[in-house]
């Protein structure tokens, strides 16, 4: 046997061997021009990622000189895997869980396949991942998707107000819903029963604002957009706006109240976040003083303030500086903020996080998000504060999923809307001394997501929904490469994802039995839990005004119904209108005789916009079921830092199946503390922002 023949045989065996790890740098062998080929039925392109010594997929691997994406997918499907990946022209990897992923550009996964030079098979240490679409179930475990009418205004900001209404706020644009004067509305009350909208009358431009409930039940909307003249109407500067809404039943006529001569923010805020506090007031944090794609030192508002204004830390009603919001430039607007049981605030912006003791104006930095994960606008990630329970001693734990690993030094025009993949990373940390010392625990979604929403469900699971696989948030200002219309993001994630925080790592994500929508929900989309237990999905408008081109201004509303919606559900009566801290009360319940687990969940459904669910919270209350299983004795939340005073919703959850929720007030229903001197000082030192329309 000649040396050349031996070399040929060894090379052939190398191409056909099952697999051995390859950790050294590899040379690409295949480089012909390529074209797209249809994938096996039920499989879709997912994302391109760097593949390192810890493999992205580790279920089954092989190499083959006849490799194509289709061959790899077929091999993985035969072994019941839901993820397949090709790499280096001739390698196939299978799995059902992403072990580690650092998404990159499509252009990094353009090595010709060994088996067909007209197709791509990843790249050198670059894995192109494909995903099997979930098969929608029709059985008892099926999630269902239902159409829900036309919203009339884009659902850019939403907040459930009563059992049958939801507040909707948009921007001034050519919406089909008209006010009494015949001009387009940019606010509405959405009727959850009839799926119809009633227009509201706003004075200042509320676009890209924040919102929260006060301890007396009034919803307050903060900040917004500068003056705009559009559709034949002048709309005044909303950046210092304070708008009050006292909810009423769907049959009512409640409207927005504004009085900037007496109520306004002390500084301009576009893209702020705000949070309910344990004294019943609200803190308003961060943002910009002028509209732009992202933040910069020139337009940054690195401060926080209170409503009503407070004389605290020597600032007497005015904004208080924050070093954190200087250090987190440029991507630090719409931060994730959660009020914690220790009276502090968790705050995340860019790839950093802190604890803010607002009573003392002390910032304590937390570990940065691993792997450069950026988690707020324009790289919006889904974030939640996991349920607070007696079992975990009301110890807070946060989960933030998705966003982007794109460098924050890149300008908008350097980002590719169609090829720069979002992050698949989820970062989770317990916010006690041991948890902080241990740092962020990382796990991975089966697909990358940006612009998604994290929705707490009454059974303690988290729904991750909306968003896209590629690009970033924003319109107009950024001019990203390969935009779709005005959209800086593309490749919508049409199928929701469920996360169970109580399962072991590696088993927490599933898309089983999930429906797939045909409506892309990208920038300016929302999702919120409803008192019924369903999830409302609305919005998406990556445009400067109403558009019908892709991605269009979206007015279609959908309702996602978890499997428990079609199950036999517990019911209850006798809920008091108001419950104070630590107070005991009883309700009458009807639950299945075979049930083994009965819990009472107090939930804040939040104010939702731009992937930020302000105040969303779930607190399990201590409860005892009577011997005859007809009465639940319940203890109110232990204190205000665990659940801020104001409105909440009570779900009785039996073996994971929740009742329909009823609304109650936590605390005394009193208004928050009011400091007349601090208010007077703020008014004296800030100009009335709408003495006339102005920039």
Quick: pLDDT tens for 62-84.
Answer: 999 999 999 999 999 999 999 99
Q: Which residues contact 309 (CB under 8 A, 6 or more apart)?
A: 266, 317, 318, 675, 678, 679, 681, 682
Domain extent listing, the chain: 3-132, 144-566, 571-666
pLDDT digit string, tens, across residues 481-529: 999 999 999 999 999 999 999 999 999 999 999 999 999 999 999 999 9
How many of the other CB atoms lie within 10 Å of CB of 93? 25
| Cα gap 530→649, rounded to integer Å | 10
Whether 232 has a pLDDT exceeding 90, the answer reads no
CATH 2.60.40.10 fits 571-666, yes or no: yes
* Closest alpha carbon to 126 in 144, 151, 141, 105: 105
User: What mean pLDDT is predicted for residues 428-455?
Assistant: 98
pLDDT at res. 544 = 84
pLDDT in the model for residue 687: 86
Task: Report in angstroms the alpha-carbon separations of 637 from 360, 394, 579.
Answer: 25, 10, 9
Q: What is the predicted pLDDT for the residue at 690?
A: 66
The percent of residues above 90 in pLDDT, for the chain, comes to 88
Pick among 2.60.40.730, 3.40.50.10800, 2.130.10.80, 3.30.2350.10: CATH of 144-566: 2.130.10.80
**Coil vs helix vs strand at 126:** strand
Residue-wise pLDDT tens digits, 298-317: 999 999 999 999 999 999 99
In 3D, which of 343, 427, 340, 328 has the Cα closest to residue 383?
427
Q: Is the pLDDT of residue 231 over 60?
A: yes
% pLDDT > 70, the chain: 94
**Rounded to the nearest 5°, which phi and psi values hold at 224?**
145, -150
Dist CA 455 CA 143 (whole Å): 15
344-378: pLDDT as tens digits: 999 999 999 999 999 999 999 999 999 999 999 99
Assign 3-class secondary structure to 417-477: CCCEECCCEEEEEECCHHHHHHCCEEEECCCCCECCEEEECCCCCEEEECCEEEEEEEECC
Q: In what order do the strands lie in the sheet with 345-349?
A: 336-339, 345-349, 352-357, 362-365
Helices (DSSP H) in 288-421: which residue ranges?
Answer: 324-327
Residue 617 or residue 688, greater confidence: 617
Q: Is the pLDDT of residue 120 over 60?
A: yes
pLDDT at 140: 84
Confidence (pTM):
0.93
* pLDDT over 50 at 334, yes or no: yes
State residue 10's pLDDT score: 37
- pLDDT computed for residue 233 by the predictor: 85
By DSSP bridging, strand 462-465 and strand 497-499 are antiparallel
Angle at 206 between CA 201 and CA 210, to 5 degrees: 125
Q: Based on the number of CB atoms within 10 Å of its own CB, is 86 exposed (0-12), middle (13-18) or buried (19 or more)?
A: buried
Tell me, what's the pLDDT at 478?
Answer: 63
pLDDT tier at 137 (50, 70, 90 boundaries)?
confident
pLDDT at residue 2 tops 90: no
Say how far apart CA 259 and CA 247 lie, in whole Å. 18
Query: What is the pLDDT of the chain when averaged over all its residues?
Result: 93
577-593 pLDDT, tens digit per residue, is 999 999 999 999 999 98
Tokens, residue 554:
């979206």
267, 271, 275, 281 alpha-carbon torsion, rounded to 10°: 30
Question: What residues contact residue 49 under an 8 Å CB cut-off, 6+ apart?
Answer: 56, 101, 102, 103, 104, 126, 127, 129, 421, 424
**How many residues are there in the chain?**
695
What's the CA gap between 65 and 61, in Å, rounded? 14
């Amino acid at each position: 046997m000649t040396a050349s023949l031996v070399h040929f045989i060894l090379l052939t065996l190398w191409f056909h061997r099952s697999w051995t790890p390859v950790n050294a740098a590899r040379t690409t062998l295949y480089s012909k021009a390529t074209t797209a080929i249809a994938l096996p039925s039920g499989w879709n392109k997912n994302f391109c990622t760097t593949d390192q010594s810890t493999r992205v997929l580790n279920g089954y691997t092989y190499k083959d000189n006849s490799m194509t994406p289709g061959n790899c997918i077929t091999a993985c499907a035969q072994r019941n895997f839901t993820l397949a990946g090709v790499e280096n022209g001739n390698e196939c990897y299978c799995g059902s869980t992403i072990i580690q992923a650092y998404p990159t550009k499509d252009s990094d996964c353009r090595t010709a396949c060994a088996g067909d030079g007209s197709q791509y098979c990843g790249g050198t240490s670059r894995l192109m991942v494909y995903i099997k679409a979930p098969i929608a179930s029709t059985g008892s475990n099926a999630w269902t998707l239902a159409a829900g009418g036309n919203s009339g205004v884009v659902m850019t900001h939403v907040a459930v107000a009563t059992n049958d209404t939801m507040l909707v706020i948009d921007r001034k644009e050519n919406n089909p819903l008209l006010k009494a004067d015949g001009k387009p509305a940019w606010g509405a009350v959405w009727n959850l029963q009839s799926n119809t909208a009633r227009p509201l009358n706003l004075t200042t431009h509320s676009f890209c604002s924040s919102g929260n409930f006060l301890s007396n039940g009034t919803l307050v909307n903060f900040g917004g957009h500068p003056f705009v003249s559009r559709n034949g109407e002048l709309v005044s500067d909303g950046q210092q706006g304070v708008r009050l809404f006292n909810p009423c039943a769907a049959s009512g006529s409640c409207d927005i109240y504004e009085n900037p001569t007496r109520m306004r923010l002390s500084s301009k805020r576009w893209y702020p976040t705000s949070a309910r506090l344990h004294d019943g007031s609200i803190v308003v944090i961060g943002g910009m003083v002028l509209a732009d794609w992202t933040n910069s030192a020139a337009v940054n508002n690195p401060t926080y303030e209170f409503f009503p204004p407070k004389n605290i830390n020597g600032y007497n009603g005015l904004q208080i500086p924050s070093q954190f919001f200087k250090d987190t430039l440029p991507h630090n607007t719409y931060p994730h903020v959660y009020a914690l049981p220790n009276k502090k605030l968790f705050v995340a912006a860019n790839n950093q996080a802190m604890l803010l003791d607002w009573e003392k104006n002390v910032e304590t930095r937390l570990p940065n998000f691993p792997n450069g994960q950026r988690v707020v606008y324009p790289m919006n990630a889904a974030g939640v504060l996991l349920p607070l329970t007696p079992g975990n001693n009301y110890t807070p734990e946060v989960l933030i999923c998705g966003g982007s690993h794109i460098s924050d030094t890149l300008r908008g025009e350097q980002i590719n809307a169609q090829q720069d993949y979002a992050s698949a990373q989820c970062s989770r940390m317990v916010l006690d001394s041991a948890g902080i010392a241990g740092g962020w625990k990382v796990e991975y979604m089966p697909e990358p997501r940006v612009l998604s929403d994290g929705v707490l469900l009454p059974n303690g699971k988290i729904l991750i929904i909306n968003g896209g696989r590629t690009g970033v948030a924003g319109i107009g200002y950024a001019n990203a490469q390969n935009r779709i219309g005005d959209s800086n993001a593309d490749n919508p994630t049409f199928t929701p994802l469920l996360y169970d925080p109580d399962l072991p790592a590696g088993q927490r994500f599933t898309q089983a039995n999930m429906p797939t929508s045909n409506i892309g929900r990208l920038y300016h989309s929302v999702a919120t839990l409803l008192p019924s237990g369903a999830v409302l999905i609305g919005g998406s408008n990556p445009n400067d005004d109403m558009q019908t081109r892709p991605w269009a201004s979206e007015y279609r509303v959908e309702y996602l119904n978890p499997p428990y919606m079609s199950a036999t559900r517990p019911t209850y009566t006798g809920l008091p209108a108001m419950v104070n801290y630590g107070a005991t009360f009883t309700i009458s319940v009807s639950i299945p005789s075979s049930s083994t687990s009965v819990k009472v969940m107090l939930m804040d459904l939040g104010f939702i916009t731009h992937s930020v669910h302000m105040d969303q919270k779930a607190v399990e209350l201590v409860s005892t079921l009577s011997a005859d299983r007809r009465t639940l004795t319940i203890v109110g939340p232990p204190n205000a830092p665990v659940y801020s005073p104001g409105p909440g919703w009570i779900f009785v959850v039996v073996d994971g199946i929740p009742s329909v929720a009823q609304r109650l007030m936590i605390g005394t229903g009193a208004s928050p503390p009011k400091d007349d001197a601090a208010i007077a000082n703020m008014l004296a030192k800030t100009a009335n922002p709408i003495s006339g329309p102005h920039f």
